[in-house]
Structure 1
Amino acid sequence: MTEELTLSQLRFLTLESQGLTKPYPFGKGKNAVLRALEHLGYLQIDTLSVVERAHHHTLWTRIPDYKAEYLDELVEEHKIFEYWFHAASYLPIKDFRFALPQMVEVKQSKTHYYNADPKVLKYVLDTIRGEGPKRARDFENETKKVGSWWSWKPTKIALERLFLQGDLMITGRNGMQKTYDLTENVLPNTIDTALPTELEFAEYLVKTYLKAYGFTTVKQITHLKTGELIRKNVDIVLKSMLQEGTIKQVNIENMPSVFVNESSLENSLNKTSSDIHILSPFDNSIIHRDRIKQFFNFDYKIECYTPKEKRQYGYFCLPVLFGDTFIGRVDCKAHRKEKEFEIIHLHIENTSIEIELWKESFVERMKSFATFNGCNTIKLTKVSPSKFTNKIRPLF
Structure 2
Amino acid sequence: MAIIKLKQPQELSRLRRLALASQGLLQAQAYGRGLIGAKKAINHIGYVQIDTISVVERAHHHVFYSRVPNFKPAMVDQMLADKSIFEYWSHAAAFLPIGDFRFSLPYKHAIKSGQTHWYKNHDKKLMGELLTRIRIDGPLRSRDIESNTDKLAGWWDWKPAKKALEQMYMEGDLMVSKREGFQKTYDLTERVLPVHIDTTMPSTEEFAAHLIEQQLRCHGFASLKGLTYLRKNTELRKAMKTLVMLRLGEGTLDQIELSNGERFVLEPGAFELPLPRLNKRLLILSPFDNSVIQRDRLKAIFKYDYQIECYVPEAKRQFGYFCLPLLYGDQFIGRMDCKAHRKTRHLEIKALHLDGHNCDEDLIIEAFIKAIKKFCQFQGCDSVSLINSYPRKQTLGLRRALQSLG
> Under TM normalisation by the shorter chain, which class is it?
over 0.9
The one-letter amino acid of 1:118's match is K
When residues 37 and 146 of structure 1 are mapped into structure 2, their CA distance, relative to the original with a 3 A threshold, is closer
Output one character per residue of 1:295-354: Cα deviation in whole Å (capped at 9) or x when no partner: 111111111121211111011110111111111101010011001111111011125433
Of 325, 334, 343, the residue aligned with 2:340 is 334
Partner residue, 2:30: 25
Q: 1:386 aligns with which of 344, 368, 392?
A: 392
Corresponding residue number in structure 2 for 1:217: 223
Partner of residue 78, structure 1: 83
* Aligned with residue 7 of structure 1, among 6, 9, 12: 12
Provide the C-alpha distance between the structure 2 equivalents of 1:187 and 1:312, rounded to a whole number of angstroms: 45
Is contact 2:354-2:390 (8 Å) kept?
yes
| Shift in CA distance, 355/24, structure 1 to aligned 2, threshold 3 Å | same
- Residues of 2 paired with 1:305 and 1:53: CA distance? 16
Question: Does structure 2 retain, via aligned residues, the 8 Å contact 1:9–1:271?
Answer: no
* 2:262 aligned partner, one-letter code: P
Residue 276 of structure 1 deviates from its aligned partner by 1.3
Percent identical residues = 45
Please tell me the residue identity of whatever aligns with 2:263: S
Q: Which amino acid aligns with 2:91?
A: H
Q: 1:252 to 1:110 in 2, by over 3 A?
A: closer
Which of residues 188, 194, 199 in structure 2 aligns to 1:193? 199
Shift of 1:391: 3.0
Shift of 1:119: 1.1
Secondary structure of 1:144 counterpart: coil
Q: Deviations over 1:3-35 (max 9, x none)?
A: 244211111100000111011010011111111
Question: What amino acid maps onto 1:55 in structure 2?
Answer: H
TM-score normalized by structure 2?
0.93
- Secondary structure of the 2:66 match is helix
The 1:185–1:265 alpha-carbon spacing in structure 2 relative to 1, beyond 3 Å, is same
1:153 matched to 2:159 = yes
Q: Deviations over 1:90-128 (max 9, x none)?
A: 000110000000000111117554333111101110111
Deviation at 1:237, TM superposition (A): 2.2
One-letter code of the match for 2:78?
E
Q: Deviations over 1:149-192 (max 9, x none)?
A: 94111110011001000000001111111111100001111111
AA aligned opposite 2:105: L
The change in CA–CA distance for 1:373 and 1:207 in structure 2 (over 3 A counts) is same
Mapping 1:163-202, distance limit 5 Å: 163-202=169-208
Once residues 268 and 292 of structure 1 are traced to their aligned partners in structure 2, the CA distance between those partners, rounded to angstroms, is: 23
Mapped partners of 1:215, 1:8: distance in 2: 14
CA contact (8 A) 2:32 2:69 kept: no
Counterpart code for 2:224: V
CA RMSD of aligned residues (A): 1.9
Residues 1:68 and 2:64 are matched in the alignment? no
The answer for the alignment partner of 2:314 in structure 1 is 308
In 2 relative to 1, CA 384–244 (structure 1 residues): closer, same or farther, beyond 3 Å?
Answer: same
> Which segment drifts farther, 227-236 or 67-76?
227-236
- Cα 1:183–1:270 change in 2 (3 A) is closer
Residues 175-210 of structure 1, C-alpha deviations (whole Å, 9 max, x = no match): 111111100001111111111001111111111111
- What amino acid maps onto 1:35 in structure 2? K
Q: Counterparts of 1:110 and 1:286 in 2: how far apart (Å)?
A: 29
State whether structure 2 residue 267 is matched by structure 1 residue 261. yes
CA shift, 1:244, in A, is 5.2
Superposed CA deviations along residues 350-388 of structure 1, whole A, max 9, x for unmatched, are 254331121111111011001100001111111111111
Distance in structure 1 (CA, Å) of the matches to 2:181 and 2:378: 16
Q: Where does residue 55 of structure 1 map in the other structure?
A: 60
Structure 1: which 5+ runs fail to align?
none
2:364 matched to which residue of 1?
358
* TM value normalised by structure 1: 0.95
Matched with 1:102 is 107
Question: Is the 1:274–1:323 contact (alpha carbons within 8 Å) kept by the matching residues of 2?
Answer: yes
Unaligned stretches of 5+ residues in structure 2: none
The structural deviation recorded for 1:69 is: 1.3
Check whether the contact 1:143–1:152 (CA below 8 A) recurs between aligned residues. no
Question: What residue is the counterpart of 1:234 in the other structure?
Answer: 240
Other-structure match for 1:123: 129
Deviation at 1:144, TM superposition (A): 2.2
Indicate how the Cα distance of structure 1 residues 141 and 264 shifts in structure 2: closer, same or farther if over 3 A, else same: same
Asked whether the 8 Å contact 1:142–1:148 carries over to 2, the reply is no
In 2 relative to 1, CA 202–120 (structure 1 residues): closer, same or farther, beyond 3 Å? Answer: same
Distance 1:251 1:140, change over 3 A: closer
Q: Give the length in aligned residue pairs.
A: 396
Query: Counterpart of 2:123 in structure 1: which amino acid?
Result: D
- How many angstroms apart in 2 are the aligned matches of 1:374 and 1:392? 21
- For residues 95 and 396 of structure 2, the distance between their equivalents in structure 1, rounded to whole angstroms, comes to 42
CA distance, structure 2, for counterparts of residue 145 and residue 61 of structure 1: 45
CA contact (8 A) 1:136 1:156 kept: yes
